[in-house]
A and B are shown apart, each in its own frame.
Chain A
Amino acid sequence: MSAASRAIPIDSVPRSVWAIPLLLGVVLLLEVTVMPFIGILNGVPDLLAPTVVAIGMLRGPLSGAVAGMVGGLFIELASPIGTLGVLALLYLCVGALAGRYHEREESMGLVVPIVFSIVAAGAVELGYGVVQALLGNGLGPADLVGQVILPSMALTALLSPPVLLAARYLLVPREPKPEASA
Chain B
Amino acid sequence: MTTRTRSGPFRRRTYTRRLAIIGLALACLAIFTLYFRESDSGPLHSVQDAAGGVVAPVQTVAARAIEPGQDAWTWARDTNAARSRAADLEKENAMLRSELVAARAGADRAEATRGMATVGTTFARDYERVPARVIAKSEPAWYERGRIDVGTSDGVVVNSPVIAPAEGGAALVGVVTAARPGSADVTYITDPQSRVGAIVVGSGNHPGILEATTSGQLKLEGVDRDAAVEEGQFVVTGGFSSLDLPSVYPPELQIGQVTGVGSQETDIEQSIQVTPFVDTRTLREVVALAPSSPRALRRAQG
Contacts and interface: CB of A to CB of B under 8 A. Distances in A.
A128 to B, nearest CB: 7
Contacts, number: 132
Interface string A51-73: 00000000011100110010011
Given A42-B141, A62-B21, A78 B32 contact: no
A44 B281 CA distance: 12
A86 B30 CA distance: 10
B28 A79 contact: no
A161 interface: no
A15 B21 CA distance: 23
Contact of A36 (B17, B35, B52, B139): B139
Interface residues of A, number: 51
Contact of B138 (A34, A80, A86): A80
Interface residues of B, number: 48
A102 to B, nearest CB: 9
Contacts of B25: 65, 89, 92-93
Contact of B59 (A33, A96, A136): A33
Given A77-B52, A104-B1, A66 B63 contact: no
A37 B59 contact: no
A6 B223 CA distance: 74
Given A33-B136, A69-B24, A103-B2, A85 B29 contact: yes
Contacts of A128: 142
Given A77-B51, A93-B25, A36 B138 contact: yes
A34 B192 contact: no
Contacts of B31: 73, 84-85, 88
Q: From DSSP, what is the main secondary structure of chain A's interface residues?
A: helix
Given A33-B59, A38-B73, A85-B29, A78 B142 contact: no
B28 A69 contact: yes
B32 A86 contact: yes
B143 interface: yes
A81 B63 CA distance: 18
B55 interface: yes
Q: From DSSP, what is the main secondary structure of chain B's interface residues?
A: helix
Interface string A26-43: 000100111011110011
A140 B35 contact: no
A32 B136 contact: yes
B87 to A, nearest CB: 24
B181 to A, nearest CB: 16
A148 interface: yes
B185 interface: yes
Interface in B83-110: none
Nearest to B35: A84
Best-surrounded residue of B55, B69, B142 (most CB of chain A within 10 A): B142
Closest 9 pairs (CB-CB, A-B): A85-B32, A33-B62, A85-B31, A89-B28, A77-B51, A42-B141, A36-B137, A84-B35, A148-B141
Interface of A: 29, 32-34, 36-39, 42-44, 60-62, 65-66, 69, 72-73, 76-86, 88-89, 92-93, 96, 103-105, 125, 128-129, 132, 135-137, 139-140, 143-144, 147-148
